[in-house]
Amino acid sequence: MPDRFTILVTGGAGYIGSHAVWALKDTGWPVAVIDNLTTGFRWAVPDDVPFYKGNVEDSTLIAKIAKKQNIGAIMHFAGSVVVPESVENPLKYYDNNTAKSRSLIESAVANGIKHFIFSSTAATYGIPEESPVTEDTAQVPINPYGMSKLMTEYMLRDVSAAHDLNFCALRYFNVAGADPGGRTGQSTAGATHLIKVAVEAALGKRDSVAIFGTDYDTPDGTGVRDYIHVSDLAAAHVHALEALVAEPERNHLLNCGYGRGFSVLEVLDAVDRVTNQKISRKLEGRRAGDPDSLISDNRAIMKRFPWQPQNADLDKIVAHALAWERKLGDIRIE
Ligand code: UD1
């Protein structure tokens, strides 16, 4: 067991970051959080975790945290994630996801932080040439969001070759669900992604769910995605950390999904099953930039890490998302 340095989680007050904070705590890793709270929530960070409200590009602050908290690794979740917004405002994405990551990586090098785990995305593949998508599938992003993340993968590759730092980029497929213990979940208002929207509809927070396109080249004509439970994703980050520490010369670029897909209709049916009611569906046209099907080939991560998904079940993902959505009714979103 290596010295237990502290992990700095950027964006630790956000959706995926807050689950990673719990996963680290649950496995005994000391953790500290930096978050500027533009989309995250202070209450999402456990009380006993040191919290810094600030920006990842603030190199003075990162240096201070690195020293005070004995930071040995960074998990970098902070960033912007809305694909259509990235098309409208690409410079925001190249700033938040690329330029600020550059600054944070520079701070890691300057402060002797040797391990870096990065939230990358299946959006780096664009409309993939093959399905399931392997890590060797060509990365041709079709929007600034995907490109802004891909550029950070490139930076990490180059910096790790030149400096004493190794990295893992996890390319997330469709992240959904919430902590099975109800400690955190997806809390940002105005979310656009399917499972969140569907459970909001099931609870009467929306009238209906739009189905964006029924003429895709898929078995039922609706878009197919590989939905991964956020807690399994968070656990993968802990494995990534432990792999980076165990083999400091090695980097990892890995898909993070379950390797199987569900259509929009199958997801909505799951929500109906779990809630024992029928949500109202509205057929609409295709949303710009949506691929027909996006399924991960996850053999590499399964081989590389001792990762055992605990929640690879669509109904369970939906049930946890629903439980959190109910709980949000009581939580004040500041
Ligand atoms: C999601 C991620 C994106 C990531 C990608 C990788 C979010 C917000 N985006 O995008 O960052 O790169 O996975 O796979 O999590 N749909 C509807 N009605 C709705 C919402 C969605 O029919 O109201 C359909 C979409 O057209 C798509 C599927 O549901 O076929 C999933 O959409 P969504 O949840 O928005 O995620 P992605 O666009 O796949």
Distance in Å, CA 212 to ligand 1 centroid: 10
- HSE, CB side, 13 Å, CA atoms: give it for residue 244: 28
Give Cβ neighbours of residue 3 (< 8 Å, ≥ 6 apart): 72
Burial code (b: 16+ CB inside 10 Å, e: under 16) for 94-108 equals bebbbbbbeebbbbb
CB of 173 sitting under 6 A from ligand 1: yes
| Residue 88 falls inside a structural domain | yes
| Residue 216 falls inside a structural domain | no
- What's the pLDDT at 188? 87
- What's the pLDDT at 191? 82
Query: Strands 262-263, 224-225: parallel, antiparallel or unpaired by DSSP?
Result: antiparallel
CB of 304 sitting under 6 A from ligand 1: no
Q: Give the pLDDT band (50/70/90) at residue 47.
A: very high
| Residue 96 falls inside a structural domain | yes
| Residue 100 falls inside a structural domain | yes
What domain range includes position 24? 6-175+228-256
- What's the pLDDT at 154? 98
Give the separation between CA 26 and CA 179, rounded to whole angstroms. Answer: 12
| Residue 73 falls inside a structural domain | yes
Give Cβ neighbours of residue 289 (< 8 Å, ≥ 6 apart): 83, 84, 87, 142, 143
Burial class (CB in 10 A: 0-12, 13-18, 19+), 47: exposed
CB of 223 sitting under 6 A from ligand 1: yes
CB of 264 sitting under 6 A from ligand 1: yes
For ligand 1, atom 21: residue with the closest CA? 194
| Residue 234 falls inside a structural domain | yes
pLDDT digits (tens, 9 = 90+) for 242-289: 999 999 999 999 999 999 999 999 999 999 999 999 999 999 999 877
Looking at the CA of residue 224, tell me the nearest atom of ligand 1. Answer: 30
Q: What is the mean pLDDT of the chain?
A: 96
Distance in Å, CA 53 to ligand 1 centroid: 30
pTM for the full predicted model: 0.96
Asked whether residue 295 carries a pLDDT value surpassing 50, the answer given is yes
Q: Which of 53, 72, 24, 5 is nearest to 184 (CA)?
A: 24
| Residue 246 falls inside a structural domain | yes
| Residue 206 falls inside a structural domain | no
pLDDT digits (tens, 9 = 90+) for 145-200: 999 999 999 999 999 999 999 999 999 999 999 999 999 999 988 888 999 999 99
- What's the pLDDT at 1? 44
**Annotated catalytic sites, by residue?**
145
CB of 301 sitting under 6 A from ligand 1: no
Distance in Å, CA 69 to ligand 1 centroid: 37
**Between 331 and 120, where is the model more confident?**
120
Question: What CATH number is given to the structural domain containing 123?
Answer: 3.40.50.720
The mean pLDDT value for 1-7 works out to 75
Domain count, the chain: 1
pLDDT digits (tens, 9 = 90+) for 84-107: 899 999 999 999 999 999 999 999
Distance in Å, CA 43 to ligand 1 centroid: 27
